Structure 1
C-alpha cells in the first residue's frame, strides 16, 4: 500500500469518516496546493494528506463542529470544510472564530464541482448555495 493511502486511512479512522472518492483522487495526485486562482484571483489552499490530522485537531475545531473535516481554506481565517453530518458531505466555509455550524457558508456539493467553479466564482461569502 502506498504511503498516501496509509495517510488517507489514518485520517478516516481518526475522524470516523470515509473521504469522497474525488477528494481521495486529489490527495493521491497532489501534495496539496496553495495559490491565487485566476481569473477569480482568490487564494485557495488545499492541505496535503499528512497535514489533515494536525489541522483538524487544532483549536477545538472538532468539538465546535462535530462531523467536520477541514481540508483547506483561504490562507487566512476561513476554512474549507467537509460537513459529514450530511451524505454525501458538501463543502462549506467556516471562520476559525465561529462557534457552531450556523456560521457555515455553502461552497459546493463536491470537490470536483468546487474546483471546476472556483476559478470563475472564487469564494462564496454570502448565503448563496450552489
Structure 2
C-alpha cells in the first residue's frame, strides 16, 4: 500500500494538486475502470494512475483548461476531469476539441457521487441536466 500512496503523491505533485480522498481510495483499491454501466448503458472510463500524466500531457489539457486533471471519460471525445479551480473540485466533462472551460459540463461533486448516480443517469450532456453550485 505504501508504494501506491507514493505513486499517488508523485502524480499529485506533478499536477500541483491533492486528489479528493474518495478518488485516492479508488486508486488504491479498484485502480481503474472501463465498462458499459447498466441500466444507463453509457461507457465509463476511470484511467489507471500510471496513465494520468501521459493522457493529460498528450491532450495538452492543462494549457487549454488550467486547473483540470483528466482522470477518465466516456471512451470517446469527452474526457472526465477534476476542476481544481475550485476548493472542492467537482468532476466535469470537457470536449476534446474545446479551447477553454466554456464547454465544460458539470457531472458530479465527487467520484463517489458520480459512481453512485452513473448507473441511473449516465453522462450529463448539458448544464440543464444538473443543478450545481
TM category (shorter chain) comes to over 0.9
- Alpha-carbon distance, 1:5 to partner: 1.2
Matches within 5 A, 1:102-117: 102-117=102-117
Name 1:76's counterpart in structure 2: 76
Q: For structure 1, list consecutive stretches of 5 or more residues without a partner in the other structure.
A: none
Provide the secondary structure at the position in 1 that maps to 2:107: strand
Q: Distance between the aligned counterparts of 2:30 and 2:4, measured in 1?
A: 10
Q: Distance between the aligned counterparts of 2:4 and 2:47, measured in 1?
A: 13
* TM-score (ref. length: structure 1): 0.96
Q: For structure 2, list consecutive stretches of 5 or more residues without a partner in the other structure.
A: none
* TM-score (ref. length: structure 2): 0.94
Cα contact 1:4–1:49 (8 A) shared by 2 = no
Cα contact 1:68–1:84 (8 A) shared by 2 = yes
Q: Distance between the aligned counterparts of 1:79 and 1:61, measured in 2?
A: 10
Q: Which runs of 4+ in 1 moved over 6 A?
A: none
RMSD (CA atoms): 1.0
Q: How many residues align?
A: 130
